[in-house]
Amino acid sequence: MSDIHIRTEGRAGRITLQRPDALNAMTYDMCLAIEAAMDRWRSDAGIDLVMLDAEGDRAFCSGGDIAELYRTGKQGDYAYGQKFWADEYRLNHKIFHYPKPVVSFLQGFTMGGGVGIGCHGSHRIVGESSQIAMPECGIGLIPDVGGSLMLALAPGRLGEYLGTTGARMGAGDAIYAGFADLFIPEDQWETVKAALLDGGDIEAAVASFAQTAPDSPMRAMQNEIDSHFHGASLGDVQTTLRHDESDFARSTLKLMTRNSPLSMACTIEALHRLRGPSLTLEKALDLEYRFTARAMEHGDFIEGIRAAIIDKDRSPKWQFADRDVPGVAVSKMLQPLGKAALTL
């Protein structure tokens, strides 16, 4: 497959995304190919670790290739999207629980579906160019691919901030928020990869190159984030932001005005439901799938893709354009799916 290069090198199973002109956006076939390779390597005694990287310097993976989702959804075929998301989430789950180390090199943009394959492994490496985000509310989805797990575990109310604004995290922010583990300068990545291919002590090989991460601007913003995003609903958050004339409040509201109100409201509710001692990836994926399975028919997904990708007018006509999302609408999108629930 020209979009992806899957092979074994030394003691590693290697997966390299090869769509640099498309910011390495992941197609359905790429998703299935990654899963098949990881299934093969799981019990292969000759494979000590899995390495995930990508061609080009602009992106590890900017997300899923959503053109086909839009085409089928416009035709009223919601089953394709539901199968796509279910299969993608199954892969995310396998990476998270993989019995061998999974090392990912996250240069440039790592967003949406890229987070799903790059940020659930055991060793998540970022560098100077890394920009990690969960911008799904901008296309009428909610942070998914298991991303809601990391958002729920992020310090304070940082998860609500990242999920509703789609704000981008540099290397320091990503490590602070729990989306990455190690900062290694990118001019050393090829040397790190070569060391990993030789086998031996993986922890020592990676740690010997790690450096102190850059400062995290979001850590410095934590008190402001917590003071504005502690509310029980999107309405609460918007009210506190609107009554604050600070630069933080103004810039945050500006980011949120681009996104689907329904998606943001469901994101906040989902994180509130997940946060706590019983949080698991399985719970996160189940809740995410309740939304995505309904996103084409009842949510803003089709309109969000039209405005961002198809017509590119950047003027989506969202439901609840007055930004007042009733609780019943949130409950409808997140209610259990019964027999159609996600199976992993």
- Domain range summary for the chain, segments of one domain joined by +: 4-340
Q: What is the pLDDT at residue 58?
A: 97
∠ Cα 112 165 126 (to 5°): 50
What mean pLDDT is predicted for residues 46-60?
96
Whole-number percent of the chain with pLDDT over 70: 100
Euclidean distance between CA atoms 308 and 318, whole angstroms: 13
What mean pLDDT is predicted for residues 103-111?
98
Question: What is the pLDDT confidence band of residue 198, given thresholds at 50, 70 and 90?
Answer: confident
Quickly list H helices, 181-260: 189-197, 202-207, 217-220, 222-229, 234-242, 247-256
Q: Which residue has the tokens 């601007």?
A: 217
Q: What is the pLDDT at residue 1?
A: 55
Question: What is the pLDDT confidence band of residue 205, given thresholds at 50, 70 and 90?
Answer: confident
Q: What is the pLDDT at residue 65?
A: 81
216: left (phi over 0), alpha (psi -120 to 50) or beta: beta
**pLDDT, averaged across the chain:** 96
Q: In what order do the strands lie in the sheet with 109-111?
A: 59-61, 109-111, 131-133
Question: What is the pLDDT confidence band of residue 66, given thresholds at 50, 70 and 90?
Answer: confident
Residue 143 confidence (pLDDT) above 60: yes
What mean pLDDT is predicted for residues 253-269?
97
Residue 189's CB: how many other CB atoms inside 10 A?
16
What mean pLDDT is predicted for residues 179-207?
92
**Angle between helix 281-295 and 261-274 (nearest 10):** 160
- In contact, 266 and 313? CB cutoff 8 Å: no
What mean pLDDT is predicted for residues 150-177?
98
Q: In 3-state terms, what secondary structure has residue 298? A: coil
Q: In 3-state terms, what secondary structure has residue 259? A: coil
Euclidean distance between CA atoms 110 and 21, whole angstroms: 15
In this predicted model, what pLDDT tens digit does every residue of 290-333 receive, in sequence order?
999 999 999 999 999 999 999 999 999 999 999 999 999 999 99
Q: What is the pLDDT at residue 200?
A: 73
**Residue 71 CB contacts under 8 Å (≥ 6 apart), including other chains:** none
Q: What is the pLDDT at residue 224?
A: 97
Q: Considering the domain 4-340, what is its CATH architecture?
A: Alpha-Beta Complex (3.90)
Residue 19 confidence (pLDDT) above 70: yes
